[in-house]
Structures are given as structure tokens and as C-alpha cells.
Amino acid sequence: MKTRIHRHILFAFLCLCAQLLHAQRTLEYKVGKETRPNRIRCVGAELDAHFHANHVPRSEGSKVEDWANVIVPRIKDMQVQSLRVMVLPQWYEPRNDNDDPVVADNGGFCFDAPQMQSLYPILDLAQEMGIPVTIVPWGATPESFMSSRKGWIVLPENHEEYAENISALLCHLIKDRKYDCIDEVTPGNEPDGWGMPSSEYVSLCKTLHARLEKDRLLKHVRLNLVDNTDRGGSFDYLEECVPGLKGIADVVNSHTYIFGYDTPSEKIMQWEEQNCRIAARAGLRHCVGEFGSNQTMGASRQKDIDQYRRGVLMVRTAISLLAAGAYNISYWQLFDQYYSRHDNYAQMQQLGMWKSVKADYATETYHDSISCDYEVRPQFYAYSLLTRFVRPGARVYRMTADGDMGLTNALCVRNRDKSWVYVVANQENIDLCVTLRNERHPLRGHYEQYVYQEGLLPNDGSQLKPLNGVREAAGSLSVDIPANTVMLFRFRR
Ligand SMILES: [Ca+2]
Ligand SMILES: [Ca+2]
């Protein structure tokens, strides 16, 4: 008898274990009849001009032909939709062109400097792909006519000289070199991070706006302003800047590195909703100029960068921002780079979708496991689903869940080519049985399904392919989404 009771207890325990092992949440995501869409601009990434000037001359083995053979095809495969690109004023104006900030002396600028030779291939690529570029003069030339401060990049003190420098660059790129991919300019990266008071920043933007107007550049470029850090979740800098930028800014943006694996999607959306509300006070849209995870270690590393689960987090973050109203999102950064030719390994920016050449990582314990130069990281496949299928100018619809969405989220997209796309990110550690509904446009007909799932990724950098060919839906879609997985469904009409 005692043995039989023990057997019963054991059986009950095993049943409980089996249930726990197959734990599953059920959630319905719905686009309601009244849901109004936001039209988005682009899903893009940071690509800074360092490859030719800083990598090729180093000893690790980056070759000039790697640009055309590896990097360009990969960006085209990803179908990256916009590029945010830094420049430093000292690249092309190391000494003042003349003593007059109102009159630019063309002979006083060196647009053929080595760093500029890293910029032009990026602009050539953007031009060829027909994608917009945001030029970001990162700060002022240190210890110069622009600013007395020391450092790699510093706060502009002489606003007129800084504005002249930016205007001269834009004149050269747009009028002399005919780059019509130049779409936006952002004067300075993270001015609040430099400690620039918001009132001074607004004043700097007004000076730049007046200069670009005088030089007839405002019909070519839009001003994408503020560019503030996340400030740990505070909106104060954006709030202080926006009223003064009315009539000056075309769009405003903020950066974020505060969201992680335990951040509810609702909280990510609330952050962006608040940014959008502040921007709307001046009649502006808000975008996210940089984002990554909150696993930061200094400015150049995030400790989850190589982890599979980061791909799920980046998609969950991105679709939460887009659902909340972000006009544009730009991931920091496309691939690992040295921001100065003479930087040591610890300074190398390693937040890329893919690595640099294998030899760059010679001191790492994982070096031997790197399969090739420019090895892609798992998140490459996840973020590429967004760049490939959530296309420029799409209308995005927020989806409401019939329960706590927790660490999941879903986005509905109507592309200009009339395709409907649904993206679901499940960051939970349990499987999700999700039903997708759209009251106005039922999910009906053929669709393709793409899955970002651990163990099922290619290992050669080729893009994810649709799973098991074309499928068919009859009004709604119910699907099991394993723990820590992203799925994307595309209905082509
Ligand atoms: Ca000057
Ligand atoms: Ca001048």
C-alpha cells in the first residue's frame, strides 16, 4: 500500500513536471476597427565612416576590397532603409578657412582628407540604394577656432563657425558631389551628454537654421534635432528644447539604452509615447536615433551582444517603439569598427550586427570559435526581418493584447506594396499560443512565415527564408510561438 501511494505521488509529480515543461501562455493580439495607423519613415542603422580610413591601414587584415565584397552586399541583403552617419568637423576644416564665419572660403576646406575617403563610399552606397542619410557632425573641432576644449570631440563654443562648417560640408556633398541621398542633418551627437544647456543648444540650432537658409540648403536637408541621451528615463532635455525648436526642427530624436530582458513592452511603449507627445507640442514627429540593450559596459560594449536572445530583445524593442509612434528607428550600429585608427582593442566599438575581421578579436577567449571574418551575430537575422519586411512609408498599427503582454509584443504593418506584415516577439521563457486578428482587414489568404529561433539560424550570413513554403489563413491566425522567438507573417496581396 505504501509503495502504491508513493507511486501515485510520483505520478502526480511527473504530471506536474510535464505541464511545467510545456507551460504555455495564450494571448490574442488584435488590430481594432478604430485603430489609427502611424506612417513610418524608415528602419535604419548607424554606419560611421571609419572602414577605409581606420581599418584598412591597420594590421589586423581588413582589406579595401572587403567593402565591395562583403559589407556592401550584406547591407543590400538586409535592405537597410536609412543610414545615420557621423562626421567630425576637423576632418575637413582642421584650421579655420578664414577669420570670417559668414564667408566660407572653399579653398580652406579639405574635402579629400583620408576620413572623407571613408565617407564617400557610404554615400555612394546610399545613393545607389536610394536610401536617405542623416549626417551627424558629432561636435566641434577640439582646441580650435570652434572650441577651446580638449578631447576627441567637444562642445561647440563658436556657433557661427560650427554652422559655417556644417553648411560648407552640405554644400560640398549636395551641390558639388550631387549626393541627393543627404536627407537630414543633426548638429552634434547627444548635446546633453556634453553638458550643453538646453537653451544654448536651441540657440545653436537657430544659428545653424539661419545659415542653411542663407546658403539655400533647407530645400535639400531637414533638421533632425535634440538627439538627446535617454537620461535614465527622464524627458527633461527634450521637453526643454522642443518649444524653442518650433519652426526650426523638422523632426526630433532621442537615443535609448535603458530597455532590457525584464522590461515590460508596455514600459517601452510608454517611453516612446511620452517622447511623441512632447514632440507633438511643436507639431513634430519623434524618432529614435540610436538604440541597443541596457547591458552596457562603457560606451563601446554591451555584454549580451553575441547572445541569441538579443535578437528577440532588439525586435521587441523596435516594434514597441514603432507601435508607440516612432517615426524612424536607427540601430546603433551596423558593424564593429575602430573609431580612430590608433585606438586600442578596448576602445573598439563592438555593438554591430556583425564583427570585423577575426584577427581583431585575437585576445578573446572565443577567438578560435569565430568561423570567418565579418562573422554575423544572431541579432543580424532578427533585425533584418524588420529591415526586409517593415518597409519605408509603411502604416503601422498598434495591436492590443487581451491580457498582460508582459515581455511579448506584436505589430501590424501595411506596406506601400499593399502587403500586410505581422511581427510577434516572445521574450518570455514560456511558449506563447497567439491568435492574430485584424477587424478591418481579416488575415486571409496566402502568407509566408519567417522564424527567428535558437538553433534554426543559418551560419553563413544568408537571410532567413520562409518556413515550409506558402501557407494559408482563413480570417485569423493562431500559432504557437516558442519561448524567446520572433515570428513574422507576410500576406502579399
Ligand atoms: Ca570657418
Ligand atoms: Ca569662413
Averaged over 169-173, what is the pLDDT?
98
Report the percent of the chain where pLDDT is more than 90. 90
Compute, in angstroms, the gap from residue 162 CA to the centroid of ligand 1.
7
Express each pLDDT in 334-345 by its tens digit.
999 999 999 999
Indicate whether 403 pLDDT > 60: yes
Other beta carbons within 10 Å of 28: 17
* Ligand in nearest proximity to the CA of 163: 1
* Ligand in nearest proximity to the CA of 95: 1
Average pLDDT over the chain, rounded to an integer: 94
Compute, in angstroms, the gap from residue 111 CA to the centroid of ligand 1.
14
Express each pLDDT in 264-308 by its tens digit.
999 999 999 999 999 999 999 999 999 999 999 988 999 999 999
* Ligand in nearest proximity to the CA of 166: 1
Compute, in angstroms, the gap from residue 165 CA to the centroid of ligand 1.
6
* Ligand in nearest proximity to the CA of 146: 1
* Ligand in nearest proximity to the CA of 96: 1
Indicate whether 1 pLDDT > 50: no
Indicate whether 481 pLDDT > 80: yes
Compute, in angstroms, the gap from residue 100 CA to the centroid of ligand 1.
7
pLDDT at 245: 98
pLDDT at 460: 93
What are the helix and strand counts (H, E) for the chain?
A: 12, 21
Domains of the chain: 22-38+394-491 (2.60.40.1180), 41-389 (3.20.20.80)
Indicate whether 6 pLDDT > 70: no
Banded pLDDT at 4 (limits 50, 70, 90): low
- Maximal CA-CA distance, the chain: 101
Q: What is the DSSP annotation of 88-115?
A: -HHHH-SS-S-S-TTS--GGG--TTSTT
Residues forming beta bridges with residue 410, ordered by sequence position: 424
Express each pLDDT in 348-384 by its tens digit.
999 999 999 999 999 999 999 999 999 999 999 999 9
* Ligand in nearest proximity to the CA of 89: 1
Averaged over 124-138, what is the pLDDT?
98
Instruction: Determine which of 419-423, 447-451, 465-469 has the lowest per-residue pLDDT on average.
Output: 465-469
pTM: 0.94
The answer to whether the beta carbons of residues 40 and 327 sit under 8 Å apart is yes
Banded pLDDT at 7 (limits 50, 70, 90): low
Compute, in angstroms, the gap from residue 147 CA to the centroid of ligand 1.
12
pLDDT at 236: 98
